[in-house]
Each structure stands twice: as C-alpha cells, then as structure tokens.
C-alpha cells in the first residue's frame, strides 16, 4: 500500500472530550439562510447541542417575514463554547432590538 501524503508535520488536534454547547442567535430581519445553513452543518458535530437564542423568547421575523421561534432568551442561555451570529445588512451595534 502506498504511504499517505502528509500535508503538515503538526500533530492532529485531540478529539473533543466534552459536550460542545453551541448558541445560535436569531434576531429581527436576520436572513434565515444564515441561521439555518449554519444550524444544519453544526448540528452534525458529534456530542454537541445547538440552542436557538434571542433577546427574548418571543418569535422574531426574518427579513422575508418567516417566523423564527427561539427556545430561550440570552439571559437564560447556558455558557457555550461557540456562538453563531448570522449576518444581516440591518444588523448594527447599538441596535435596541439586539442589545
């Protein structure tokens, strides 16, 4: 059998030994594909869980009017190792809807 090609001399990272908590933040006028695309990919990570989070637990509408329902508010969210933040041309620092 041929010897495999090595691209790097660095050691492989260690396998994850604990549950990975991921938070996906949804907010008004988010483009839902930024949320659902990331959700679909990250939901396949072994031993992980994704929490859909918003400012409050009230449903929010995306840029096209689709209703997204968070499972918890930011205040209720567990500490996680990763937060997914979709882009939006309407997202601004200091926006009272997302502060």
Q: At residue 1, does pLDDT exceed 70?
A: no
pLDDT tier at 18 (50, 70, 90 boundaries)? confident
Quick one: DSSP state of residue 18?
A: S
Q: Report yes or no on 6 lying in a domain.
A: no
Highest averaged pLDDT of the listed ranges 33-37, 45-49, 65-69, 82-86: 65-69
Q: At residue 36, does pLDDT exceed 50?
A: yes
- Residue 56 domain boundaries: 20-85
Domains identified in the chain, total number: 1
For residue 15, which of 60, 45, 50 has the smallest C-alpha distance?
A: 45
**This model's pTM is above 0.85:** no
Q: Report yes or no on 5 lying in a domain.
A: no
Please give the Cα distance from 81 to 17 (Å, whole number).
13
- Choice between 86 and 52, residue whose per-residue pLDDT is larger: 52
Q: Report yes or no on 28 lying in a domain.
A: yes
> Helices then strands (H, E): number in the chain?
1, 6
Q: Report yes or no on 73 lying in a domain.
A: yes
Please give the Cα distance from 70 to 58 (Å, whole number).
7
Residue with tokens 């937060």: 83
> What is the predicted pLDDT for the residue at 29?
87
* CATH number where 31 lies: 3.40.50.880
Counting every residue written for the chain, the total comes to 99
Residue 67 belongs to what H/E stretch? strand 67-68
Q: At residue 45, does pLDDT exceed 80?
A: yes
Q: Report yes or no on 14 lying in a domain.
A: no
Q: Report yes or no on 94 lying in a domain.
A: no
């Amino acid at each position: 059998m041929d010897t495999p090609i090595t691209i790097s001399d660095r050691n492989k990272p260690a396998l994850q030994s604990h549950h990975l908590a991921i938070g996906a933040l949804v907010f008004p006028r988010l483009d839902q594909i930024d949320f659902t695309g990331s959700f679909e990919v990250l939901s396949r990570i072994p031993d992980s869980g994704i929490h859909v989070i918003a400012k409050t637990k009230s449903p929010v509408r995306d840029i096209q009017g689709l209703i997204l329902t968070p499972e918890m508010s930011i205040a209720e969210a567990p500490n996680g190792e990763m937060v997914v933040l979709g882009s939006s041309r309407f997202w601004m620092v200091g926006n009272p809807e997302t502060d």
